[in-house]
Amino acid sequence: MDGDISNKPKLIPTRKAQTAPSDALYVKPEKVYPREVSGRFNRLRVLAVVALLGWYYALPWLQWDGRQAVLFDLPARKFYLFGLVLWPQDFIYLALLLVIAGLSLFFFTALAGRLWCGYACPQTVWTEVFLWMERWTEGDRPQRIKLDAAKWSADKASRKAAKHTLWLLFALWTGFTFVGFFSPIADLGSRVFSFTLGPWETFWVLFYALATWGNAGFLREQVCIYMCPYARFQSAMFDKDTLIIGYDPQRGEPRGSRKRGAENKPAELGDCIDCTLCVQVCPTGIDIREGLQYECIACAACIDVCDDVMDRVGYPRGLIRYDTQSGMEGKEARVLRPRTLVYGTILLALIVGFGTALALRVPLSVDALRDRNALYRVIDDGVVENVYTLKVANRSERPRNFAIEVAGLPGLSIDMADTVLALNGGEIREVPARLRAPTEPNVGAVPNVAVPNVGAVLRTAIITITVTATDDPTITASTTASFIRP
Whether 136 has a pLDDT exceeding 80, the answer reads yes
Starting at the edge strand that comes first in sequence, how are the strands of the sheet with 78-81 ordered? 70-73, 78-81, 84-86
The alpha carbon of residue 477 and the mean position of all alpha carbons in its chain are separated, in whole angstroms, by 31
For domain 364-485, give its CATH number from 3.40.50.970, 3.40.50.300, 2.60.40.420, 2.60.40.10: 2.60.40.10
CB neighbour list of residue 182: distance below 8 Å, 6 or more residues apart = 71, 72, 73, 74, 204
pLDDT of residue 428: 86
Least confident of 20-29, 61-70, 291-300, 335-344: 20-29
Q: Cα–Cα distance between 12 and 27 in angstroms, integer?
A: 18
The three-class DSSP label of residue 340 is helix
Q: Cα–Cα distance between 238 and 345 in angstroms, integer?
A: 18
- The mean per-residue pLDDT over the stretch 390-397 comes to 86
Using one digit for the tens of pLDDT, what is the confidence trace for 423-479?
988 788 899 999 998 876 444 444 444 444 444 567 888 999 999 999 888 899 999
Higher pLDDT, 166 or 413: 166
Whether 325 has a pLDDT exceeding 80, the answer reads yes
The three-class DSSP label of residue 48 is helix
Straight-line distance from the first to the last Cα atom of the chain, in angstroms, rounded to the nearest whole number: 61
Using one digit for the tens of pLDDT, what is the confidence trace for 137-164?
999 999 999 999 999 999 999 999 999 9
Q: Cα–Cα distance between 412 and 406 in angstroms, integer?
A: 7
Q: How many CB atoms lie within 10 A of CB 257?
A: 11
Residue 420 phi, psi dihedral angles, 5° rounding = -115, 115
Higher pLDDT, 100 or 334: 100
CB-CB contact of 174 with 208 (8 Å) = yes
pLDDT of residue 320: 95
Q: Quick one: 57 exposed, middle or buried, by C-beta within 10 A (0-12, 13-18, 19+)?
A: middle
Q: Which candidate, 473, 445, 443, places its Cα nearest to that of 457?
A: 445
| pLDDT-derived band at 263, boundaries 50, 70, 90 | low
User: Could you tell me the residue ranges of all domains in the chain?
Assistant: 1-361, 364-485
Mean of the per-residue pLDDT values for the chain? 86
Alpha carbon separation from 6 to 88, 110, 408 (Å, rounded): 47, 16, 63
pLDDT of residue 322: 92
Q: Which helix (H) or strand (E) holds 485?
A: strand 472-485
CB-CB contact of 7 with 238 (8 Å) = no
CB neighbour list of residue 203: distance below 8 Å, 6 or more residues apart = none
Whether 319 has a pLDDT exceeding 80, the answer reads yes
- The mean per-residue pLDDT over the stretch 188-201 comes to 91
